[in-house]
């Protein structure tokens, strides 16, 4: 329950910040163009807070936090006095109206730059993209890789961490091949060609590099126990920290992965563990617990194994000064913008399944998880969603900012506004398309929860 509340709170904060900046973009440019703004609302529906500003604008927060709006004086919908006509939206030249419409998405891009700038000023704890293993019969298995090897570039794009590797491969979806530059343990660099012509990203919610078969480096895990959870099956059976599991129901166990798989395959089963304790071998009767995940029951013991320390030279902090951080924030924002456009194109061509579309539930989960990891990770998530919001609003669909810009471009070209009848029909079609996309996205969210 606390996890749901945390995710909901993070979601409301995320959406509130993004919507406020988006609408402020419209508001600020409208005021600069001499347009009278009647209402600035964060959220839809009945206001829960409202204040009349000295500038004549009503500022409010409304009940439904799934968007917002800026209502400007417009002779097409308002009764406008002769004195106020010069301050109406429709009285302004095409270029000013276009600037007002475009200002919302632009504000989202600026917000992303500022947020990422602050993130890089604080410093982002990161892990180098070192390949620990390659999944057999995968796309990655087609090239000979020595492990460990560090991925330093994908298609010439530098990759400092696994997130950048993930984004770089996402951008390569649909291509015939990808150029992979790696550095091995002897510091030798090689550029390899991956045949990704038949690779498609399905509905599995996994990073692109995992789908390709690259397994990130993980420190060695031993069969000796480092932690026993209180009131767990392990604690009730008498297992202790320092015990080394030797056998499971008489079957010798050489690795922790074998032990883990055996435990997970026996939910609620009565089993016998052979352990080595201070040089003496003992057999312990254990009744495993059971947990459910994605509709499947798995065995549960309640222990953590001893692990090797993560190598210090694989860890680093991405931190920059004021100027370099701003440049890095702008570069990352541009990369996210380009990737967002590419992914929309890949959805339209079927390279990426529509089952990858995410709705408000997935965004809330992402907000909650990133916020639980810390401020810098939440800032990165905020920037990503801000860029996506800006790009989506620029799509040439009626009811979105991009659709309004299309109508204004036509008006500017033919020196005559598109008829209200045509606009009304277009808005209905655009609304139906947006509603359909929302239904797909929310359905995907529900299906993921039910798995």
185 and 313, same domain (yes or no): yes
Residue after which a domain boundary falls, among 301, 331, 356: 301
Both tokens of residue 245? 């599991």
Which whole-number Å values give the CA distances from 206 to 129, 210, 278, 298, 372, in the listed order? 16, 6, 41, 21, 20
Residues 101 and 11 in one domain: yes
Q: Are residues 194 and 98 in the same domain?
A: no
Residue 14 maps to a domain? yes
Whether residues 133 and 198 share a domain: the answer is yes
Q: b/e string for 99-137 if b means 16 or more Cβ within 10 A?
A: bbbbbbbbbbbbbbbbbbbbbbbeebebbbbbbeebeee
Instruction: Give the pLDDT confidence score for residue 374 in this predicted structure.
Output: 81
Instruction: For residues 40 and 121, give the distance between their C-alpha atoms in angstroms, rounded to a whole number.
Output: 32
| Closest listed residue to residue 266, CA positions, set 239, 250, 290 | 290
Q: Has residue 102 been placed in a domain?
A: yes
Comparing CA positions, the residue from 64, 16, 133, 89 lying closest to residue 367 is 16
Answer yes or no: is 395 within a domain: yes
Tell me, yes or no, whether 181 lies in a domain: yes
Residue 394 lies in a domain: yes
Q: Are 56 and 40 in contact (CB under 8 A)?
A: no
Q: What is the CATH number of the domain that holds 153?
A: 2.30.42.10
Total number of domains constituting the chain = 3
130 and 176 inside one domain: yes
Whether 174 is covered by a domain: the verdict is yes
pLDDT string in tens for the chain (451-residue length): 566 677 777 878 888 889 899 999 999 999 999 999 999 998 888 889 999 888 889 999 988 877 888 999 988 877 878 888 888 998 899 999 999 999 999 999 999 999 999 999 999 899 899 998 888 888 888 888 888 899 999 998 899 988 889 888 888 887 888 899 999 888 889 998 988 887 776 655 678 888 888 889 988 889 999 999 999 999 999 999 999 999 999 899 989 989 999 999 999 999 999 999 988 999 999 999 988 876 688 998 999 999 988 888 888 999 999 999 999 999 999 999 998 888 888 777 777 766 666 666 666 666 676 777 788 888 988 999 999 999 999 988 888 899 889 989 998 888 888 888 888 888 888 778 878 877 777 776 666 666 5
Q: Is 3 a catalytic residue?
A: no
Q: Tell me, yes or no, whether 283 and 427 share the same domain.
A: no
169 and 256: one domain?
Answer: no
Same domain as 437, residue 391:
yes
180 and 253 inside one domain: no
pLDDT in the model for residue 174: 79
Contact 284, 271 (CB under 8 A): no
Cβ-Cβ contacts under 8 Å for 417 (sequence gap 6 or more): 407, 411
Q: What is the pLDDT of residue 361?
A: 62
Asked whether residue 208 falls in the same domain as residue 242, the answer is: no
In a domain? residue 97? yes
pLDDT of residue 362: 64
pLDDT at 103: 95
Q: Considering 318, 351, 368, which residue would you say is the last residue of a domain?
A: 318
Placement of tokens 């990165």 in the chain: 380
| Catalytic residue from among 3, 23, 189, 215 | 23
- What is the model's pLDDT at position 426? 84
Neighbours of 446 (CB within 10 A): 10
pLDDT at 205: 63
CB 161 within 8 A of CB 129: yes
- For residues 107 and 24, give the distance between their C-alpha atoms in angstroms, rounded to a whole number: 8
Alpha carbons 314 and 219: distance in angstroms, whole number? 11
The confidence score (pLDDT) of residue 186 equals: 86
pLDDT of residue 320: 94
Residues 255 and 112 in one domain: no
Shared domain check, 391 and 260: no
Q: From 125, 141, 127, select the one nearest 180 (Cα to Cα).
A: 141
Give the domain range for residue 236: 221-301
Q: Answer whether residue 70 is part of any domain.
A: no
């Amino acid at each position: 329950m606390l996890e749901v509340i945390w995710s909901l709170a993070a979601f409301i904060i995320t959406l509130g910040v993004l919507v406020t900046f988006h609408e402020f973009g419209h508001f600020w440019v409208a005021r600069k163009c001499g347009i009278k703004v009647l209402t600035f609302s964060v959220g839809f529906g009945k206001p829960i807070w409202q204040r009349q500003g000295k500038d004549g604008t009503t500022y409010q927060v409304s009940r439904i936090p799934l968007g917002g709006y800026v209502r400007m004086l417009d002779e097409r919908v308002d009764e406008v006095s002769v004195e106020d006509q010069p301050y109406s939206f429709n009285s302004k030249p095409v270029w000013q109206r276009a600037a007002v419409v475009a200002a919302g998405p632009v504000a989202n891009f600026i917000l992303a730059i500022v947020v990422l700038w602050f993130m890089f000023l604080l410093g982002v704890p990161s892990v180098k993209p070192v390949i620990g293993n390659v999944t057999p019969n995968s796309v990655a298995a087609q090239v000979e890789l020595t492990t460990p090897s560090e991925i330093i570039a994908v298609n010439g794009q530098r990759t400092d961490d696994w997130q950048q590797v993930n984004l770089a491969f996402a951008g390569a979806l649909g291509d015939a091949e990808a150029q992979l530059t790696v550095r091995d343990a002897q510091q030798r660099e090689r550029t390899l060609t991956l045949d990704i012509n038949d690779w498609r990203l399905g509905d599995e919610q996994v990073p692109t590099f995992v789908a390709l078969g690259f397994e990130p480096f993980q420190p060695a895990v031993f069969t000796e126990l480092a932690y026993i959870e209180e009131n767990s099956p392990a604690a009730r059976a008498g297992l202790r920290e320092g015990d080394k599991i030797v056998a499971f129901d008489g079957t010798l166990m050489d690795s922790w992965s074998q032990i883990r798989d055996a435990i997970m395959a026996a939910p609620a089963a009565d089993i016998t563990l052979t352990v080595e304790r201070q040089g003496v071998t003992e057999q312990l009767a254990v009744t495993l617990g059971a947990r459910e995940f994605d509709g499947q029951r798995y065995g549960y013991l309640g222990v953590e194994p001893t692990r090797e320390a993560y190598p210090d030279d694989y860890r680093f902090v991405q931190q920059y000064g004021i100027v370099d951080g701003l440049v890095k924030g702008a570069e990352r924002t541009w990369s996210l913008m380009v990737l967002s456009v590419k992914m929309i194109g890949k959805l339209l061509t079927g390279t990426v399944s529509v089952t990858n579309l995410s709705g408000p539930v997935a965004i809330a989960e992402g907000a909650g998880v990133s916020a639980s990891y810390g401020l810098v990770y939440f800032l990165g998530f905020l920037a990503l969603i801000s860029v996506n919001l800006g790009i989506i609003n620029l799509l040439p669909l009626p009811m979105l900012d991009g659709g309004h810009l299309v109508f204004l471009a036509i008006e500017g070209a033919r020196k005559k506004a598109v008829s209200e009848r045509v606009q009304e029909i277009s808005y209905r079609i655009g609304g139906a398309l947006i509603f359909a996309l929302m239904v797909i996205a929310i359905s995907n969210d529900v299906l993921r929860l039910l798995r």
